[in-house]
Chains A and B, each alone.
Chain A
Amino acid sequence: MPVFTPPPLPSDDKRWKIVNGTMRKNGFARHALIETLHTVQSAFGYLDDDSIRFVARSLRVPLSQAYGVVTFYHYFSLKPPGRHTMTICAGTACYIKGADDLAAAAVKRLGIQQGQTTRDGGISLMKARCVGACSRAPVVLCDGEVAGEVTEEQMIEQLERWAVE
């Protein structure tokens, strides 16, 4: 059987070495697909066609399977994130405490739907399934930082601070 040689790195961007590191650590085994996609997303912020192709070829996974995995799991994103991200938790405790109103206010303020980024690439408005900070509901994540018992005014203020940056 011919020895498998992984494809060359897509570019000399150092982040590909980190991606390759995850695959090497797992012996380029097919079951490392999700682990590797996590590494790509944490290094590049999202998954584009080139990165999915590269990972699929390196792990000898059919492209359809790699794309299937990417689109199956909510955590993976095919679009680049904005400079800032406002994530509104949609867990049960947050829903009971009015997260829907927060989401509606943010949608109105930014003029985009949840899951989208403003045209200038400034702010992404996202939805989290539950971040596990339910005791402080409603919760939003401002660039990943948890803020609890958030009011509409506080959230809008934060969005406005980001908008003028």
Chain B
Amino acid sequence: MTIEELEQLAKTIGQENDKYDFEVNVCMDLACVSQGADRLREALAKAAEACGKNVLVRRTGCMGPCSSGPLVRVDPEEILYHHVNAGHAEAIVSSLGGDPVPELQCDLNEHFDKQVRVVLENAGYIDPEKIDDYIVRDGYKALLTALTEMTPNGVIHRITESGLRGRGGGGYPTGLKWGTVAKAVGDLKYVVCNGDEGDPGAFMDRSVMEGDPHRVIEGMAIAAYAVGASKGFIYVRAEYPVAVARLTTALREARRRGLLGNGICNTPFNFDVEIRLGAGAFVCGEETALIASIEGRRGTPKPRPPYPAVSGLFGKPTLINNVETFANVAPIIRNGGKWFANMGSERSKGTKVFALTGKIANTGLVEVPMGIKLREIIEVIGGGVPAGHAFKAVQTGGPSGGCIPAEMLDVGVSYDALVRLGSIMGSGGMIVMDDTSCMVNVARFFVEFCMTESCGKCIPCRAGTAQMYTLLSRFCTGTGTMEDLDLLVGLCETIKDASLCGLGMTAPNPVLSTLKYFRDEYIEHIVHKRCPAGVCKMEAPVEVVA
């Protein structure tokens, strides 16, 4: 397909869509489906057919505020309805062209006003199983522009100029990574998309893969052109069957349109993508472990160097980026690096998608410009902690991250600021905790996770996480001592310094950050054998027989 053909196709699809007077978009993401969005869509389609109006009922990806689901948006008026069920279908359809249904209308202006949508620009607007819906919203334009008007170096230059950093959590500059793979010598190179969202409490990548799969594929294809790769793999968690199905459909459609395969856009560029299923191992988020898993082996990391950029999958130069990183590529190519660099803070550019969950009014997916204050995300976008309880901490970065207390909420979100607070950006889970959560117990929860997920290759992580767990368990049962606390701190430092990969190196973070901000809770557990939040079940003190 040439760029003219793509533009002509977009025009034709646009004209087809214009035939409809109204579009009724139904969010069909996991959260809404679990509340009956399936039946709702059927009821809407039936009502639309019966009413005689020109209505298109469309399934879409995640619209964002999952706690208000199931969600329906009526276009062109952009009316958002919340908590809709199949029984409301008739009322919604008959209101088309007239006044909206007042009892279903939701007022989330504050929630949306603070957000900037780049990665999620299509979420809620396209049917993820229809490539035409993607094409009509400028889909694949960036790929064809790159192939016909830009050199591979030009593409890398634009990504570098944008300041995009890896969205998987590490924050490595994307342009630099691409440049390294491009310079690596080899006739065969690979591009790998890390969709192994193993961080518990995060679902941004799932929503992007399910709601806008072509965006990920387009980003991968552009990357492949830039670094000189001809083959791609998307590594997806097996726990995400819908994402696997949507990506499979998207790949088939892209091949059918000639946007993947040999000689894309009449250029010598060949590229195709295969899906590989993860099998439930958090450590496979680490690059070298992920490579081992794609090769069909146990997902254990290897010391670096050599970096995957030089010797990766099957020993070939390999570019690995996260889903959200790839999802940012097409808009950067379309709008320019400067456009992207204008958003965000000095060293963290663009936007970040967060999965906002826990004890907060508006749970769901949000996309905010980097640099926004945590307070704005939690109190304005998230609507704050539900009445009756007080905010205690927000956890970012999953098992590798930390807990940030109320007094630090005025810090702007960026890679560096979060590290300074003792946490990390991570992939984007943001879990709000109130006064019913015990921070010692939270630390134990994450350490238990890391202990279970440690691959066992290096001793500091394998044995260290187990020892951390034992010590924390003593505190949680009221049997710990102050000496145990000193031991724990020393252990944390050792594990951080001596572990082989990121899993071990960051496993102490939840402990260190809770110790930094909530040391008094630890002291309460140790000295007074009391859990202030009432979560830990303390053992009755053992009588010492003299």
Residues of B near A129 (CB, < 8 A) are: 198, 200, 239, 280, 282
Tell me the complex Cα distance, A137–B432, Å.
12
Closest chain B residue, CB of each to CB of A37? B279
Given contacts A92-B398, A130-B200, A131-B239, contact A136 B298 (CB under 8 A): no
A90-102: CB near B (< 8 Å → 1, else 0) gives 1111011100000
Task: Tell me, yes or no, whether A57 is within 8 Å of chain B by CB.
Answer: no
Q: Name B317-360 residues within 8 Å CB distance of A.
A: 355-359
Q: How large is the interface on A (under 10, 10 to 19, 20 to 34, 35 or more residues)?
A: 35 or more
Q: A133 at the A/B interface (Cβ < 8 Å)?
A: yes
* Other-chain contact of B445, A68, A92, A148 (Cβ < 8 Å): A92
Quick one: given A34-B296, A132-B203, are A148 and B34 in contact (CB under 8 Å)?
Answer: yes
A130, closest chain B residue (CB)? B200
Contacts of A145 in B (CB 8 A): 34
* Contact call B277/A34, Cβ cutoff below 8 A: yes
A49 CA / B31 CA spacing, docked (Å): 38
Cα A31 to Cα B355 in complex, Å, equals 33
Given contacts A135-B357, A135-B364, A147-B34, contact A72 B298 (CB under 8 A): yes
Chain A residues numbered 102-132 whose CB sits less than 8 Å from any CB in chain B: 128-132
**Within 8 Å of chain A (Cβ to Cβ): is B122?**
no
Among A69, A76, A128, A145, max chain B CB count under 10 A is at A69
State in angstroms the CA–CA spacing of A131 and B293 once bound together.
Answer: 20
Known: A93-B358, A134-B357. A75 touches B238 (CB 8 A): yes
A160 to chain B, nearest CB (A): 21
Smallest beta-carbon distance A12→chain B, Å: 27
Cβ of A146 to closest chain B Cβ, rounded Å: 4
Measured CB to CB, the closest approach of chain A to B452, in angstroms, equals: 8
Are A134 and B202 closer than 8 Å at their CB atoms? Answer: yes
Check if B395 sits within 8 Å of A38, measured CB to CB.
no
Q: With A and B bound together, what is the CA distance between A146 and B240 in angstroms? A: 12
Q: Which residue of B lies closest to A59 (CB)?
A: B296
Q: Closest residue to B437 on the A side, CB-wise?
A: A96
Q: Are B30 and A69 in contact (CB under 8 A)?
A: no
The listed residue with most B CB atoms (<10 A of its CB), out of A34, A65, A134, is A134
CA distance A134 to B366 in the complex (A): 13
Instruction: Say whether, besides A34-B277, A35-B296, A69-B298, A135 and B355 are in contact (CB < 8 Å).
Output: yes
Cα-based distance from A131 to B203 in the complex (angstroms): 8
Known: A30-B296, A31-B295, A69-B296. A133 touches B203 (CB 8 A): yes
**A129–B298 CA distance with the chains assembled, in angstroms:** 18
Knowing A74-B281, A97-B358, say if A130 contacts B239 (CB, 8 Å).
yes
Interfacial chain A residues near B357, Cβ < 8 Å: 92-93, 96, 134-135, 137
B66 at the interface (CB under 8 A from A): yes
Distance between Cα atoms of A32 and B437 in the complex (Å) = 44
With both beta carbons as reference points, the residue of chain B lying nearest to A93 in the complex is identified as B357
Q: Determine if B67 is an interface residue (Cβ-Cβ < 8 Å).
A: yes
- A129→B503 CA distance, assembly (Å): 16
Q: Does A33 contact B (CB under 8 A)?
A: yes
B66 x A65 contact (CB < 8 A):
no
Smallest CB separation, B203 vs chain A (Å): 4
Asked whether A73 lies within 8 Å of B299 as measured between CB atoms, the reply is yes
With A38-B277, A96-B433 as known contacts, state yes or no: A132 contacts B206, CB within 8 Å: yes
Asked if A134 and B279 sit within 8 Å, CB to CB, the answer is no
Can you name the residue of chain A whose Cβ is closest to the Cβ of B199? A130
Q: Which residues from chain A contact B433 at a C-beta distance below 8 Å?
A: 96
Closest-by-CB residue of A relative to B356 is: A135
Pick from B35, B197, B278: contact of A132, CB below 8 A.
B197
Q: Using known A-B contacts A74-B279, A135-B66, determine if residue A96 contacts B299 with beta carbons closer than 8 Å.
A: no
Closest B-chain residue to A133, C-beta based?
B30
8 Å CB interface, B404-433 against A: 429, 431, 433
User: Which residues of chain B are within 8 angstroms of A38 by Cβ–Cβ distance?
Assistant: 238, 277, 279
Within B267-320, the residues touching A (CB, 8 Å) are 276-282, 293-299, 314
B363 adjacent to chain A (CB < 8 Å): yes
**Chain B hits for A137, CB < 8 A:** 357-358, 363
- Does any Cβ of A come within 8 Å of B33's Cβ? yes
**Is B478 on the interface with A (CB-CB < 8 A)?**
no
User: What is the chain A residue whose CB lies nearest that of B242?
Assistant: A132
B293 touches A92 (CB 8 A): no
Is B280 in contact with A92, judged by CB distance below 8 angstroms? no
A131 proximity list for chain B (CB < 8 A): 30, 239
Return the chain B residue nearest A34 by Cβ.
B296
Bound Cα distance A119, B278 (Å): 31
B34 adjacent to A73 (CB under 8 Å): no
Asked if B201 is an interface residue, CB under 8 A from chain A, the answer is yes
- Separation in Å of the B28 CB from the closest CB of chain A? 13
A133 to B201, CA, bound (A): 8
A73 to B30, CA, bound (A): 24
In Å, the complex CA distance between A96 and B403 comes to 13
A57 to B431, CA, bound (A): 46
Which residues 429-468 in B have Cβ within 8 Å of A in the complex? Answer: 429, 431, 433, 437, 442, 445-446, 455
Separation in Å of the B180 CB from the closest CB of chain A? Answer: 24
Report B-chain residues with C-beta under 8 Å of the C-beta of A147: 34
Closest 7 pairs (CB-CB, A-B): A92-B201, A135-B66, A73-B279, A74-B280, A91-B200, A33-B296, A132-B203
User: What are 16 A-B interface contacts by the 8 Å CB criterion?
Assistant: A30-B295, A35-B276, A38-B277, A73-B278, A73-B279, A74-B280, A76-B279, A76-B280, A129-B198, A129-B239, A130-B200, A134-B357, A135-B66, A136-B34, A146-B33, A148-B34
- Besides A92-B358, A95-B200, A135-B67, 16 other CB < 8 A contacts? A30-B296, A34-B277, A61-B296, A69-B296, A72-B298, A73-B281, A73-B299, A74-B279, A74-B281, A75-B279, A92-B200, A93-B201, A96-B358, A130-B201, A130-B239, A134-B355
Binding site for B on A (CB under 8 A): 30-35, 37-38, 61, 65, 68-69, 72-76, 90-93, 95-97, 128-137, 139, 145-148
